[in-house]
């Protein structure tokens, strides 16, 4: 009879979760970032004028033609710099909140998984919001890529405008809390609750396929439900001309104003590129995390 392995020390298990989460986030952002640029451009444009982007392909074509090829990677440095702490925070805090809300039970309930996802998302939002402010400012600035300020210069400019407060690097925090809290609540809650129903198979390919489908579905559903907060975040954090009054200031005020001026459909702007990014991204991120975490536990 084989001996049961002793549980890993907390510090070692935590370091493995951080390493696996950071690597998973880095892989996902490098593959999917151009679609994030397109999503933000759609969300930031106002009304339905002839100069607006009409499709994902149209947005890619106009962006590359007017701003250069590398413009589809605008704003990638802030999320890359943020991915390790962001994903580390996401996965590490999810595991801790899962234990907390299980109240000592070895098997987490459906409710504990949903609550753990919600609180992991809220915690993640506090970590990532300054990076998001810089990223969105860069993505919505339609200058030639070669003429645009660097991420560090943009961060310094935003800090000069408003410091770390709600007019500076923490602008749009409430909408970021809404976006991340809702997305992670649904993503983790759906994935881990549905995972127990995945058919057992000796085929590793089939297992990857089922888990990828669960991750894709979880990411897609979460993206549809949280997108009004995402639109509000893009409007609040986006580029605006100097010395002009800001139209979008708080989360609820922005959602109501967009709905009033542009209609209900405007709250779902950028949904297609968001789904194309976070559907597959949800699968990539979860599979990468689980496999890297498993590999680290085997090796160390």
* Structural tokens at position 49: 């004028």
**Confidence band (pLDDT; 50, 70, 90) for 49?**
low
- Residue 2: per-residue pLDDT: 45
Q: Which architecture characterizes domain 10-294 according to CATH? A: Alpha/alpha barrel (1.50)
Query: How far from chain centre, in Å, is Cα 161?
Result: 25
Residue 47 has pLDDT above 80, yes or no: no
- Residue 259: per-residue pLDDT: 96
Tell me the pLDDT of the chain averaged across its residues.
Answer: 89
**Domains of the chain by residue range:** 10-294
Question: What is the tens place of the pLDDT at every residue in 141-189?
Answer: 877 777 788 888 999 999 998 999 988 999 999 999 999 999 999 999 9
Distance CA 68, CA 59 (A): 13
Residue 46 has pLDDT above 60, yes or no: yes
* Structural tokens at position 117: 């996802």
Residue 35 has pLDDT above 70, yes or no: yes
- Residue 1: per-residue pLDDT: 43
Question: What is the tens place of the pLDDT at every residue in 77-121?
Answer: 877 877 667 788 899 999 999 999 998 888 899 999 999 999 999
User: Average pLDDT, stretch 244-249?
Assistant: 87
The model's pTM is 0.82
| % residues pLDDT > 70 (the chain) | 95
- Residue 113: per-residue pLDDT: 96
Residue 3 has pLDDT above 60, yes or no: no
User: Average pLDDT, stretch 232-252?
Assistant: 87
Distance CA 85, CA 19 (A): 10
User: Is 153 or 50 the better-scoring residue by pLDDT?
Assistant: 153
Residue 51 has pLDDT above 80, yes or no: no
Question: What is the tens place of the pLDDT at every residue in 231-241?
Answer: 999 999 988 77
Angle made by CA atoms 260, 266, 267, in degrees to the nearest 5: 90
Residue 125 has pLDDT above 50, yes or no: yes
């Amino acid at each position: 009879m084989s001996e049961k392995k002793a549980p890993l020390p907390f510090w070692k298990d935590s370091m493995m979760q951080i390493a696996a989460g950071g690597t998973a986030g880095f892989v996902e952002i490098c593959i999917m970032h151009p679609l994030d640029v397109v999503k933000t451009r759609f969300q930031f444009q106002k009304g339905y004028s002839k100069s607006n982007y009409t499709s994902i392909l149209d947005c890619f074509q106009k962006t590359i033609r007017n701003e250069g090829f590398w413009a589809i990677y605008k704003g990638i440095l802030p999320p890359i710099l943020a991915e390790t702490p962001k994903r580390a925070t996401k996965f590490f805090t999810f595991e801790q909140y899962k234990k907390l809300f299980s109240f000592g039970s070895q098997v987490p309930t459906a409710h504990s998984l949903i609550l753990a996802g919600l609180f992991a998302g809220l915690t993640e939002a506090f970590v990532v919001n300054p990076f998001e402010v810089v990223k969105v400012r860069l993505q919505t600035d339609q200058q030639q890529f070669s003429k645009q300020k660097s991420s560090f210069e943009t961060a310094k400019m935003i800090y000069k405008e408003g410091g770390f407060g709600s007019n500076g690097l923490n602008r749009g925090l409430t909408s970021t809390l809404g976006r991340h809290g809702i997305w992670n609540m649904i993503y983790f809650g759906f994935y881990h609750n549905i995972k127990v129903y995945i058919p057992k198979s000796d085929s590793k390919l089939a297992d990857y396929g089922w888990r990828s489908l669960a991750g894709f579905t979880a990411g897609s559903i979460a993206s549809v439900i949280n997108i009004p907060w995402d639109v509000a975040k893009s409007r609040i954090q986006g580029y605006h001309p100097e010395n002009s009054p800001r139209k979008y200031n708080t989360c609820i005020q922005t959602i109501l104003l967009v709905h009033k001026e542009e209609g209900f459909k405007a709250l779902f702007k950028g949904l297609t590129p968001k789904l194309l990014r976070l559907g597959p991204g949800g699968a990539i991120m979860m599979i990468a995390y689980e496999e890297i975490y498993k590999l680290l536990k085997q090796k160390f």
